[in-house]
Structure 1
Amino acid sequence: MLDTDSTIYALSTAPGRAAIAVVRVSGPACPSVRLHPTIRSIFPLRPVPTNAPLHQIYQALCPTTSIPKPRFAALRTLYDPSHPPSPNTVLDAGALVLYFPGPKTVTGEDVLEFHIHGGPAIVKAVLSAISRTHQPDAAVRYAEPGEFTRRAFMNDRLGLPQIEALGDTLSADTEQQRRLAVRGASAALLNRYEAWRQTLLYARGELEALIDFAEDQHFDESTEELVASVSAQVRALAVQIGFHIQNASRGELRRSGIRVALLGAPNAGKSSLLNRVVGTEAAIVSTEQGTTRDIVDVGVDLGGWYCKLGDMAGIRAEAGGSAAVIGAVEKEGIRRARARALESDVVVVVVSLEDSDTAGGVRLLVEPEVLAAVDDCVEAGKCLVVAVNKCDKLPTEEWRDELPPALAETVRDVFPAVPAERVFAISCNDAQRGSLPLTGKRAQNPSDPGHLQAFLHGLISTFEQIASPLGVGDEGGQYDKSYWEDSLGVTHRQSSNLQICLDHLEDFLSQTSPAAPLDAPASHSHERDPASIAVEIDIVTAAEHLRFAADMLAKITGKGESGDVEDVLGVVFEK
C-alpha cells in the first residue's frame, strides 16, 4: 500500500515535445519548503493555514505572487526555488496555474496544476523544481503509476467501475469505443451495483429476522409469505443480472473489436475484398490458387466500429479428380481458416459467379468444402453474411442493386441459414476500376461502383444487431433502452463477479423454490410453527447465499461489506 500522507506530482500529459504540458500536484504538502535564504529575506512567506496544503509548493515556484483564486486560471512566472528569483532562475515565463481545493477535485485532495510550455527541457526543469521542495517529515515525490486514480478511489471520488471505464476512455480509437467509455465513466453502473447490494442486504435482513425472532415475535406476514416475497425480489434481481452478463459480451464487441472472417474457396475474391475495404494492398491477389496460406489480419474502422478483418486460405478439396495436389503448408492454412471462422464473431462467406457452359451464362460456384465449413459455423451459432462476388459477369440490365431473382433464389437454397438482408451482390473488379474511397456510408457515394458501399452498410447493420443490448422491450420490464445500454459497459472483471453472484442467487432460489418442504398442503400449514418451517427450508444456508452474492457486488464496486453484523441488525430493526 502506498502512503497517502505524501504530496505526489506527475506529468499528466503525454511525454514528448508539445505546445502545452500539464503537471499535476495532489495531496498535503510539507509544512515548510526548502527555499533559498535570500528568497526568504526578500519575499517572506505569508502565514499559510493548515487547511491549504499546496500553498507552500506554489510559493516555492511563484514566490512573487499569491495563489490564484480557486478554479480560476492565472498567468504566472515559475522560478527555481533553490535560487533567488531573477531572469536567470526563470523556469517558465508564461505558465498557467490553477488551484483546486478539496474535496471536490479529481483526487479528493487539494490539487495544483501547472500548464507549462511543452518543451522537454522546461518540463524536466519544473518537475525537478517540485521535487526539491521535499522535507523529511512530509515527502513530496513523483507519483507511482495510477496513484492519482487510486487516491480518487480512496477518497470516494471514483468507483471501480468508473476507473475501469477511464482506461477505456484513454484507449478509445473508434466512435463506438468512445460512446461505450463515456457511458461507463458515469456513476450509473456503480449506483446500480450498490442498489443491488442494498436489495440483498434487506432481503438477508428479513431472513435473519425470521431466524432470530420468529419464536417470540408476531409477524404480519406468515413465514411462507415472507419467504415468497424475498424470493420474488431475488428472482427479479437475478433476471437483471443475467441480462447484464449477456450484454457484457456484446459490449466487448464494441470495446475490443468485432472479428470478421472472410471464408470461401480459392479465387472467390476474399483478398480483393479485403484490399478494397481497407484501401491498401494488404493481401496478395493472384489467379493462382493457394496464394493465401496464413491468416492476414487487418484492423479497420468501419462506420465507428472497430473490426478485425481476417483473410484466410481458400478452402478446397485436398485431392481427387482434376483438383491440384495440396501441399502440407496449404493444408495447415485451410485448417487454420476453418478454426478462425469458428472463433470469429461474423463470418463473411465469399462466393463467386463463374462462366457457365452456356454461352454468355454464369453460374454460382460454391465448393462442397466451403458448405461444410459454413455448416460448422451455423452449428456454432455464428453470424453469417454472404457476399456474391464477380457480379460484373452479369449483364448490365440484370445487375442493379441486388441479385437477379433466379440467382437470389439459388443463394437462399444454398445458404438457408442466412437471411435475405445479409446477402450482397458485389464486384471487386468494378470497385477497383472505380477508385473511389470506401467510407461505409453509401450516401456519400451514390454511384457505388461494385456495390461495396452497400455491402459495408449492411455489414455495419449486422454489427449493430449483434452488439445491441438485450433486455430492451417486454423482457426488460419497466426499464427503458438507456438502462440496458449502460450494461454494455460491463467489463470482464465485473461480468465474472456478476456470474458468481448469479450462481449464489440461483442456489438461494433452488432452496426456497415451491419444490421445497415449504410447499406442504395448506390443510396442514396451521400445524407447523414458523421455527420448524425455517429449519425445513434451511433459511440459514439460504441467507448465506445472499451474503455471498452481496459480497460479489461489493467486490465489483470496492465499497461495503454485506456481512457486517451492524448493517444486518440495522436492517432488522428498521424493518
Structure 2
Amino acid sequence: MALRRALSAAGGRWARRLCSAARGDTVFAVSSGHGKCGVAVIRASGPGCRAALQSLTGRRELPPARVLALRRIRDPATAEPLDRGLVAWFPGPGSFTGEDCCELHVHGGPAVVSGVLQALGRLPGLRPAEPGEFARRAFHHGKLDLTAAEGLADLIQAETEAQRRQALRQMEGELGRLYQRWSETLTQALAHLEAYIDFSEDDNVEEEVLSRVAATVRALEREVGAHLRDGRRGELLRGGVRVVIAGPPNVGKSSLLNLLARRPAAIVSPVAGTTRDVVELALDVGGYPAVLSDTAGLRATADPVEREGVSRARERLQHADLVLAVLDASAVPAEPGGLAAALGAVLPPATDPPKPCVLVLNKADLLRGGGGALRAACARGGLPPAALLSCTTGAGLAGLLELLRRQLERLCGDPRAGGPSLTQSRHGHHLRACLGALRRCRPAAPAADLALAAEELRQARRHLGRITGHVGAEDVLDVIFRDFCVGK
C-alpha cells in the first residue's frame, strides 16, 4: 500500500505502469534491431518470465542461469512450432532490470519474430513494453541511477569512438559515484551542523564544528565550480561540435564540405553566391563528432535572397563552437597583416574567450613555388592554425584533418582521461543551483543564521539527488526514458 500511495502522489502514466508491474505485469519486446537479420533477441522482464519460458519451450526445467540453451520454441495456444533457437534465463535480482528476465534468440525473419511476439502477447499477465521500460525498471530496482541510465542511452546512440568511451564511463557509474560522494559529504556536514544547532547549549558539541563544516562546504564549492567550468566538454562530445565553414563567396566552402563528406552534399558552381541556405551534415573526425555547416559567402549584396543567406551565415557563426575560415590562397596577401585583415572580415566580433578557428587557404594548386611565402606568413603572424589545401586535387587534406582533430580534441577533451565530464544540460541546471546554495551557506560567519545555513545544505543535497534520481526524481523520469528505444 505504501508503494501505491507513493506512485499515486507521483502521478502520470509511468507511475501507473510501475504500480501494475508491482501487481505482476511482465513486459516483452524485441531488443535487437528491427528488420530482417540473422538473429533477433526478444527480451521479457517480470514475474511471469518463468512461466512464459516454460510455456514457449514446453519444458518445465529452465536452463542454468545466464547460460544459453538450444530449445524448440512453440505457440502455447496451438502447440505449433515457431522456431528453433537459443533461450536464456536471468533470475532476479541478478538481471539487468533486477526482476526475473528471459531472452529468446530466434531467427530474425519478420514472420518468426511476429509469431513469437504474438505468442507472448497471448499469455496471461504479459504485455508489450513501453520505450525505455526495461531501463526504467532497472532504475526502480536500484540497478541504475539516472546518470547511468542516461549513459546507457548515449551508448546506444554513440556514433564515434570518443562518444562511445564517454558514454561507457557514465553508464558504468563514474558520474553517479562523483555526485553521490558529494551528496554524502553534504549529508555529513548537514548532520554536524544540525547537531550543533540542537546540542551546542548543552556543551556536548565542540565549538570548532562550525569551522569544520564551513571548510567542508568551501572545498565542495570549489570542486563543484571546477566541474562546471569544463568548457562544456562532455556536452560537446555528446551532441557534436558545431563547426561552421565561413568565408567570402567562391573561395571553395561548398567544395570543402563535399571533400570532407566524400560525397556531393552541396551544390558547387563557379558562380559566386550559389550557396544561399545553410547545408549541414554530421562527420566523424578522428573519433570526435562534428556537425559541419556550409554557409553563404559573406559579402554585401542587393539580392534579397542572398542577403538572407548571409544573415543566416553570420547567425551560425555567432553560435559556432569552431570556425573553418576559408580564404582564396591565390588572392590573399602573403604577409601577416593582410592575412589577419582578410580573416577579420570572416570571423564574428571578438568573444571572450576567442572563438576557436582553423584557417583554410584553399586553391593552393594555383600558387607558384608551393606557397612557401604564404606558409611563412601564417607561421609568424600570430594567426590561427592554418592549412594550405586544394579542394580540386585533395592535396593538403590530411594536414587539415589533423588540425581539425586537434581542435576537436581540445574542445571535447580525452574521454579516457581525467574525471567524468558533465554531459547533460539537466545536470548543469541542478549543479548551478547546488553551487548557489553552497555559496550562500556561511555557518561560521559572525551572527550567522544556522537554521538558514542548514536549509541551504539541504537544498544543495536535494539538487544533487535530483541528478542521480535519489531525491525527487519523478518529475524528470519521463524526460530521461522517453527517448529510449523499445526493448531497452
1:462 to 407, 410, 419: 407
Equivalence for 1:98: 88
Gaps spanning 5+ residues in structure 2: where? 1-14, 473-488
Equivalence for 1:570: none
Q: Which moved more, 1:361-370 or 1:275-284?
A: 361-370
How far residue 131 of structure 1 moved from its aligned partner, in angstroms, is 2.3
Equivalence for 2:187: 201
Q: Are the aligned partners of 1:351 and 1:366 in contact in 2 as well (CA < 8 Å)?
A: no
Give the distance between the partners of 1:185 and 1:461, measured in 2 at CA: 26
CA 162–353 in structure 1, closer or farther in 2 if over 3 Å, else same? same
2:244 to 261, 270, 275: 261
How far residue 214 of structure 1 moved from its aligned partner, in angstroms, is 0.9
1:211 correspondence with 2:197: yes
Give the match's secondary structure for 2:459. helix
Give the distance between the partners of 2:226 and 2:340, measured in 1 at CA: 40
How far residue 296 of structure 1 moved from its aligned partner, in angstroms, is 1.4
Q: Which moved more, 1:365-374 or 1:18-27?
A: 365-374
1:61 to 36, 51, 56: 56
Equivalence for 1:22: 41
Matching residue's letter, 1:351 = L
1:405 correspondence with 2:376: yes
How far residue 294 of structure 1 moved from its aligned partner, in angstroms, is 1.5
User: Equivalences for 1:79-118 in 2 at 5 Å?
Assistant: 79-83=74-78, 85=79, 89-92=80-83, 94-118=84-108
Question: Deviation per CA, 1:122-176, whole angstroms, max 9, x where unpaired?
Answer: 1111122222221xxxx22222222211111111111111101111111111111
How far residue 380 of structure 1 moved from its aligned partner, in angstroms, is 6.7
Equivalence for 1:51: none
CA 195–538 in structure 1, closer or farther in 2 if over 3 Å, else same? same
Equivalence for 1:159: 145
Q: Which moved more, 1:368-377 or 1:168-177?
A: 368-377
User: Equivalences for 1:222-261 in 2 at 5 Å?
Assistant: 222=207, 225-247=208-230, 249-261=232-244
Equivalence for 1:568: none
Give the distance between the partners of 1:537 and 1:272, measured in 2 at CA: 65
Matching residue's letter, 1:78 = I
Gaps spanning 5+ residues in structure 1: where? 30-53, 319-325, 432-449, 471-480, 519-535, 562-575
Higher relative contact order (CA 8 A, sep 6+): 2
2:32 to 1, 13, 26: 13
1:71 correspondence with 2:90: no
User: Equivalences for 1:7-406 in 2 at 5 Å?
Assistant: 7-29=26-48, 54-64=49-59, 66-83=61-78, 85=79, 89-92=80-83, 94-134=84-124, 139-220=125-206, 222=207, 225-247=208-230, 249-318=232-301, 326-354=302-330, 371-374=344-347, 376-378=349-351, 381-396=354-369, 398-399=371-372, 403-406=374-377
Question: Deviation per CA, 1:85-142, whole angstroms, max 9, x where unpaired?
Answer: 4xxx1111x21111111111011111111111111111111122222221xxxx2222
Normalising by the residue count of structure 2, what TM-score does the alignment of the two structures yield? 0.86
CA 80–283 in structure 1, closer or farther in 2 if over 3 Å, else same? closer
RMSD: 2.6
Matching residue's letter, 1:467 = C
Give the distance between the partners of 2:110 and 2:267, measured in 1 at CA: 44
Q: Are the aligned partners of 1:250 and 1:469 in contact in 2 as well (CA < 8 Å)?
A: no
Q: Are the aligned partners of 1:234 and 1:505 in contact in 2 as well (CA < 8 Å)?
A: yes
Give the distance between the partners of 1:248 and 1:173, measured in 2 at CA: 22
1:501 correspondence with 2:411: no
Give the match's secondary structure for 2:249. coil
Q: Are the aligned partners of 2:97 and 2:134 in contact in 1 as well (CA < 8 Å)?
A: yes
Equivalence for 1:36: none
Give the match's secondary structure for 1:501. helix
Equivalence for 1:539: 450
Matching residue's letter, 2:53 = Y
Give the distance between the partners of 2:378 and 2:224, measured in 1 at CA: 46
Matching residue's letter, 1:61 = L
CA 258–150 in structure 1, closer or farther in 2 if over 3 Å, else same? same
Q: Are the aligned partners of 1:174 and 1:304 in contact in 2 as well (CA < 8 Å)?
A: yes
How far residue 377 of structure 1 moved from its aligned partner, in angstroms, is 4.6
Matching residue's letter, 1:73 = L
Equivalence for 2:7: none
Give the distance between the partners of 1:188 and 1:213, measured in 2 at CA: 38
Matching residue's letter, 1:462 = Q
How far residue 355 of structure 1 moved from its aligned partner, in angstroms, is 5.7
CA 424–21 in structure 1, closer or farther in 2 if over 3 Å, else same? same
CA 379–316 in structure 1, closer or farther in 2 if over 3 Å, else same? farther
Equivalence for 1:426: 389
Q: Are the aligned partners of 1:362 and 1:394 in contact in 2 as well (CA < 8 Å)?
A: no
User: Equivalences for 1:468-483 in 2 at 5 Å?
Assistant: 468=413, 482-483=417-418
What is the aligned length?
453
How far residue 307 of structure 1 moved from its aligned partner, in angstroms, is 1.0
Matching residue's letter, 1:487 = S
Q: Are the aligned partners of 1:263 and 1:312 in contact in 2 as well (CA < 8 Å)?
A: yes
Normalising by the residue count of structure 1, what TM-score does the alignment of the two structures yield? 0.74
Tell me the percent identity. 39
Q: Are the aligned partners of 1:197 and 1:553 in contact in 2 as well (CA < 8 Å)?
A: yes
Matching residue's letter, 2:36 = R
1:554 correspondence with 2:465: yes
Q: Which moved more, 1:99-108 or 1:233-242?
A: 233-242
Structure with larger Rg: 1
How far residue 269 of structure 1 moved from its aligned partner, in angstroms, is 2.0
Equivalence for 1:440: none
Give the match's secondary structure for 1:236. helix
CA 313–380 in structure 1, closer or farther in 2 if over 3 Å, else same? farther
How far residue 331 of structure 1 moved from its aligned partner, in angstroms, is 1.5
How far residue 261 of structure 1 moved from its aligned partner, in angstroms, is 1.0
Q: Are the aligned partners of 1:169 and 1:181 in contact in 2 as well (CA < 8 Å)?
A: yes
